[in-house]
Amino acid sequence: MNNNGGTECGYERYECSDELISVENVTLDYSSKSGSERALVNINMNIFPGEFVCVLGSSGCGKSTLLKILAGFIPPTSGNVKLEGNLVKGTDWHRGVVFQNPPLYEWLTVSQNVAFGPKMRKVPKKEYAPLVVDYLKKVGLEDFADKRIYELSGGMKQRVSIARALINNPEILLMDEPFGALDALTRENIQDLTRKIWWNNRKTIFLITHDVEEALLLGSRILVMSKHPGTIINDIRVHFSERVIEEGSKHVKFSEEFYNKRQEILKLINDE
């Protein structure tokens, strides 16, 4: 689905290119003892390179299910997901995932956790070692390389988890409510870091949240989902995140435009 009507990406920073991810008529039924339950119905969307797509929807509407399908953790019941035209058939390094509570190896050091992906892919150590240093710098953890995970705060763990996903140079970063468990100050800090990584590294990001302001301050595009069973009911292009980068401040959130967009989206969710 694209507000611009066609396949153009509508995104100034990039030459309009082909979609990175396309989701066609995806439906997902969970089966249980009492029968089957439809979690997603008729999902159609494209994600273009360089977009920061934020997904908003009420609890239980199927956001995490959609992310798990994009990641390749679960196959859709019907329909398909393609990455650069190729069917997604399972998990691989092309799609990096960041969860609310990052599953890190508690007994390994920060560096060892970040090095995990390249090591598993049998990248030679002399190639990945400098990358580990680079990515720790990107997330502001260069001084904590040798700390063990259990010694870190929640915010630091989330930074490790972002570095660990980025080091594999994924085509897209899939983030499921990544800031949900953090205190307000840390959350803002890591939101800023994520925006910077998106902008400076030209990453494509798909981020789930239930916080409208977070979606407006980060996304270049917001997808609003209906209540259970979830489908996409709106696809809205926004430019506040770019303004935050350009202006070096979040003043834009006090603008009338921001207020109106926020009300418009809240109404969409509440009217559901």
Ligand X SMILES: Nc1ncnc2c1ncn2[C@@H]1O[C@H](COP(=O)(O)OP(=O)(O)O)[C@@H](O)[C@H]1O
| Interface ranges with ligand X (CB under 6 A) | 30, 32, 37, 39, 57, 59-65, 228
Residue 61 interacts with, from Mg ion, ligand X, none (CB under 5-8 Å by kind): ligand X
Smallest distance from ligand X to CB 159, Å = 23
Q: Within 29-88, which residues bind Mg ion (CB under 5 A)?
A: 64
Query: Please, which residue, 64 or 189, has the CB nearer to Mg ion?
Result: 64
Which CB, 55 or 217, lies closer to ligand X?
55
Q: Which is nearer to ligand X, 100 or 169 (CB)?
A: 100
103 touches 182 (CB < 8 A): no
Report in angstroms how near the CB of residue 228 gets to ligand X at its nearest: 5
> To the nearest whole angstrom, how small is the minimum distance from the Cβ of residue 64 to Mg ion?
3
For residue 161, what are its two tokens?
């988890």
Q: Smallest distance, Å, CB 224 to ligand X?
A: 12
Structure tokens at 231: 């489908």
Residues 106 and 148: their CA atoms lie apart, in Å, by: 7
CB of 262 to ligand X, least distance (A): 20
Work out how close the CB of 246 gets to ligand X at its nearest, in angstroms, rounded to a whole number: 32
Q: Which of 211, 201, 196, 202 is nearest to 248 (CA)?
A: 196
- Of 87, 96, 64, 89, whose CA–CA distance to 75 is shortest? 89
Residue 228 interaction partner, one of ligand X, Mg ion, none, beta carbon < 5-8 Å per kind: ligand X
Give the amino acid at 243: R
Residue 24 parent element (H or E)? strand 21-32
**3-state class of 216 per DSSP?**
helix
- Helix spans in 78-153 (H): 110-120, 125-138
Pairing type for strands 78-83 and 21-32 reads: antiparallel
Beta bridge partners, 38, equal: 29
Which residue has its beta carbon closest to Mg ion? 64
The entry of Mg ion, ligand X, none that residue 178 binds, CB within 5 to 8 Å by partner kind: none
Smallest separation (angstroms) from ligand X to the CB of 198: 22
What number of chain residues touch Mg ion (CB under 5 A)? 1
Contact between 231 and Mg ion by CB under 5 A: the answer reads: no
Pick from Mg ion, ligand X, none: which does 46 bind, CB < 5 to 8 A by kind? none
C-alpha 238/C-alpha 38 separation (Å) is 31
Residue 209 interface partner, choices Mg ion, ligand X, none, CB cut-off 5-8 Å depending on type: none
- Residue 237: contacted member of Mg ion, ligand X, none (CB under 5 to 8 Å, by partner type): none
CA distances from 234 to 49, 105, 261, 264, 269 (A): 20, 38, 13, 11, 10
Q: Which does 227 bind (CB under 5 to 8 A by kind): Mg ion, ligand X, none?
A: none
**Whether the Cβ atoms of residue 70 and residue 206 lie closer than 8 Å to each other:** yes
Closer by beta carbon to Mg ion, 60 or else 84: 60
CB 204 within 8 A of CB 50: yes
Residues that bind Mg ion (CB under 5 A): 64
